[in-house]
Amino acid sequence: MTPLKSEKQIEEIRKSCKMLSAMYRELIPLVKPGVKTIEIDKWVQNWIQKAGGRPAFLGVGPKNNPFPAAICISINNEVIHGIPSKRKIAASDLVSLDCGIDLGGYISDQAITLAMGGASAEARRLCAVTRECLYAGIRAAKSGDRLLQIARAVQGHALQAGFGVVHQFCGHGVGLDLHEDPQVSNIPRGPNPKLLAGMVLALEPMINMGTGEVEILEDGWTVATADDSLSAHWEHTIAILRDRTEILTEPVCGEEVA
């Protein structure tokens, strides 16, 4: 059953979300060619701890293979859950960053994709269209409407641009736990409950330059495109309210909210 949050709980989740977006604004200038992804993770862990939060991703997952970092860093054909390492960012890379903060038991979740200066025009278009898919989904998320309207909006925009939509992974409820009901698919399939005031959702389109098919790599975490094409990932945490839908995480890269 989907947990509905009270106004007080949403206010506390909002604080966590604002902290996460503030972290991203400081992090973005540091993500550049030549930087090792493990150095980014160390910076993120330090920033969150100094701010009074806890990395929400660190240690999640199975006991025999917990996620070992505070931030997922997925590059080029990697879709989500990339593990930071000694790999250096290259001048032409497409870099997806996904992070969450637990602030006193209230959890935020946000992802962005950055195109390095040497990225191709098509890579930049993929990044822009994925971001547009996110906002199309947010505009479709209204109290009293149905969940799959979000998926129709996301999928429709991606397919119109000629890109593939990842269907094996999806968005989710969030706020009191990292992953809550309902699952928020990016393709119109599965349960279609009403969107109710008090729902807090993480919408996160994952869009590929090729097909929407993906595979999990040997580390048990990193999800990559099955055809080795580029992928982009954008995410906001939103709250469904009686009279509006509020984006709780904040734009950090000049996104167009309209």
Contacting residues for 95 by C-beta, under 8 A, at least 6 apart: 31, 73, 74, 75, 89, 113, 114, 115, 116
What tokens were used for 78?
Answer: 């990697």
pLDDT at 254 (0 to 100)? 64
Taking the C-alpha atoms of residue 26 and residue 247, their distance in angstroms, rounded to an integer, is 20
Question: How many CB atoms sit inside 10 A of residue 38's CB?
Answer: 16
Taking the C-alpha atoms of residue 133 and residue 74, their distance in angstroms, rounded to an integer, is 19
pLDDT tens digits along 98-126: 999 999 999 999 999 999 999 999 999 99
pLDDT tens digits along 165-175: 999 999 999 99
What tokens were used for 74?
Answer: 């997925």
**Residue 100 CA to chain centroid, in angstroms?**
9
pTM above 0.85, yes or no: yes
Residue type, 204: E
Taking the C-alpha atoms of residue 28 and residue 54, their distance in angstroms, rounded to an integer, is 20
Packing angle of the helix pair 7-27, 37-51 (nearest 10 deg) = 140
pLDDT at 94 (0 to 100)? 98
Show the low-confidence residues of the chain (pLDDT under 70). 1, 254-258
Taking the C-alpha atoms of residue 214 and residue 235, their distance in angstroms, rounded to an integer, is 19
